[in-house]
Amino acid sequence: MNYYTDNKVLKHYLKHPLMQRIVAMQEDNYSQAEQFNYAPMDFEEAVLGYEQVLNLVGELCAEVIAPNAKEIETEGPRLEDGRVIYAPATERNLELFRKAGLMGISMPREYGGLNFPRTVFILIEDIVCRADAAFGNLWGLQDCAETILNFGSDEQRNRYLPRVCAGETMSMDLTEPDAGSDLQSVRLKATLDKETGQWYLDGVKRFITNGDSDIHLVLARSEEGSVDGRGLSLFIVDKKCGAVHTRRIEDKMGIHGSPTCEIVFNHAPAELCGSRRMGLIKYVMALMNGARLGIATQSVGLAQAAYNEAVEYARSRKQFGKTIINFPAVYEMVGTMQSRLDAARSLLYETARNVDMEGQFNDLARRRPLTPEERAESKLFAKKADALTPIIKGMGSEIANLNAYDCVQVHGGSGYMRDYVCERLYRDARITSIYEGTTQLQVVAAIRYATSGFYAQLLDEYLSVDVPETLAPLRSRIENLAERYKSAVERVQSFDNQEALDFMARRIYEMAAYSLMATLLLCDASSDGELFASSLSRFVALAEAVVAGHAEYISNFTIEHLSNYSKQ
Amino acid sequence: MKLNIIVLAKQVPDTRNVGGQAMNDDGTINRSALPAIFNPEDLNALEQALLLKETNPGSRVTLLTMGPHRAADILREGLYRGADEGILLTDRAFAGADTLATSYALASAIKKIGSYDVILCGRQAIDGDTAQVGPQVAQQLGLPQVTYTRRIISLNEGMVTVERSIENGVEIVETSLPVLLTVDGTAAQCRPANAYRLLRFHRAAIPTEQAAEGFRYSKQIVADEALALKEWNLVHINGDAARCGLAGSPTKVRKVDNVIFKAKESKRYSAGDEDIKALVGELLANHTIG
This model's pTM is above 0.90: yes
User: Looking at beta carbons, which residues of chain B come within 8 Å of A38?
Assistant: 196-197, 199-200
**Inter-chain touch B192–A52, beta carbons under 8 Å:** no
**Model confidence at A487: pLDDT above 70:** yes
Percent of chain A with pLDDT over 90: 97
User: Looking at beta carbons, which residues of chain B come within 8 Å of A102?
Assistant: 195
Residue A464 sits at the vertex; the CA angle it makes with A460 and A466, to the nearest 5 degrees, is: 160
What mean pLDDT is predicted for residues A88-117?
Answer: 98
User: Looking at beta carbons, which residues of chain B come within 8 Å of A52?
Assistant: 198-199, 202
Cα–Cα dist B138/B144, whole Å? 7
Of A40, A45, A100, the CB nearest to B195: A100
**Model confidence at A232: pLDDT above 70:** yes
What are the pLDDT digits (tens) for A336-373?
999 999 999 999 999 999 999 999 999 999 999 999 99
**Model confidence at A317: pLDDT above 80:** yes
What mean pLDDT is predicted for residues A223-242?
Answer: 95
What single letter denotes the amino acid at residue A534?
Answer: S
Which residue intervals of chain A bear CATH 1.20.140.10?
Answer: 278-437
* pLDDT for residue A567: 67
What CATH architecture applies to the domain A278-437?
Answer: Up-down Bundle (1.20)
A440 contacts A506 by C-beta, under 8 angstroms: yes
Cα–Cα dist A299/A394, whole Å? 10
Kindly identify which residue of chain A lies nearest to residue B215, measuring between CA atoms. Answer: A45
Segment-wise mean pLDDT, segments of 10 residues, chain B, 290 residues: 96 80 73 87 98 97 97 98 98 94 97 97 92 96 97 95 94 97 96 98 98 95 95 96 93 81 77 89 83
What are the pLDDT digits (tens) for A297-308?
999 999 999 999
What are the pLDDT digits (tens) for A380-436?
999 999 999 999 999 999 999 999 999 999 999 999 999 999 999 999 999 999 999
What are the pLDDT digits (tens) for A499-510?
999 999 999 999
* pLDDT for residue B283: 87
Domain A451-566 CATH (choose: 1.20.1250.20, 1.20.120.470, 2.60.120.1570, 3.40.309.10): 1.20.120.470
Active-site residue (options: A423, A436, A479, A552): A436
**Model confidence at A540: pLDDT above 70:** yes
Q: Where are the alpha helices (DSSP H) in chain B?
A: 40-55, 72-81, 99-113, 133-141, 195-201, 207-211, 218-223, 273-285
Residue B193, min C-alpha distance to chain A (Å): 6
Q: Which phi and psi (to 5°) does residue A90 adopt?
A: -65, -45
Q: Does domain A1-168 have CATH number 1.10.3720.10?
A: no
What CATH architecture applies to the domain A170-277?
Answer: Beta Barrel (2.40)
**Model confidence at A568: pLDDT above 70:** no
Percent of chain A with pLDDT over 70: 100
Residue ranges and CATH numbers for the domains of chain B are 4-248 (3.40.50.620)
**Inter-chain touch A52–B194, beta carbons under 8 Å:** no
Of A74-88, A374-388, A463-477, B268-282, the poorest mean pLDDT is in: B268-282
A135 contacts A428 by C-beta, under 8 angstroms: no
Which residue intervals of chain A bear CATH 1.20.120.470?
Answer: 451-566
What single letter denotes the amino acid at residue A36?
Answer: F
ipTM at complex level? 0.94
Integer CA distances (angstroms), A29 to A21, A374, A487, B27, B201, in order: 9, 16, 45, 55, 22
* pLDDT for residue B64: 98
pLDDT higher at A568 or B15: B15
Q: Best interface-test mutation with B: which of A5, A23, A37, A106 has the largest number of B CBs within 10 A?
A: A37
What are the pLDDT digits (tens) for A146-159?
999 999 999 999 99
A436 is a catalytic site residue: yes
Which residue intervals of chain A bear CATH 1.10.540.10?
Answer: 1-168
First to last CA, chain A: 53
User: Looking at beta carbons, which residues of chain B come within 8 Å of A45?
Assistant: 216
Kindly identify which residue of chain A lies nearest to residue B226, measuring between CA atoms. Answer: A37
Residue B17, min C-alpha distance to chain A (Å): 11
- Of the candidates A442, A451, A437, which has an alpha carbon nearest to the alpha carbon of residue A388? A442
Residue A114, min C-alpha distance to chain B (Å): 7
What is the DSSP annotation of B10-74? -EEE-TTS--TTSB-TTSSB-GGGS-EEE-HHHHHHHHHHHHHHHHSTT-EEEEEEESSGGGHHH
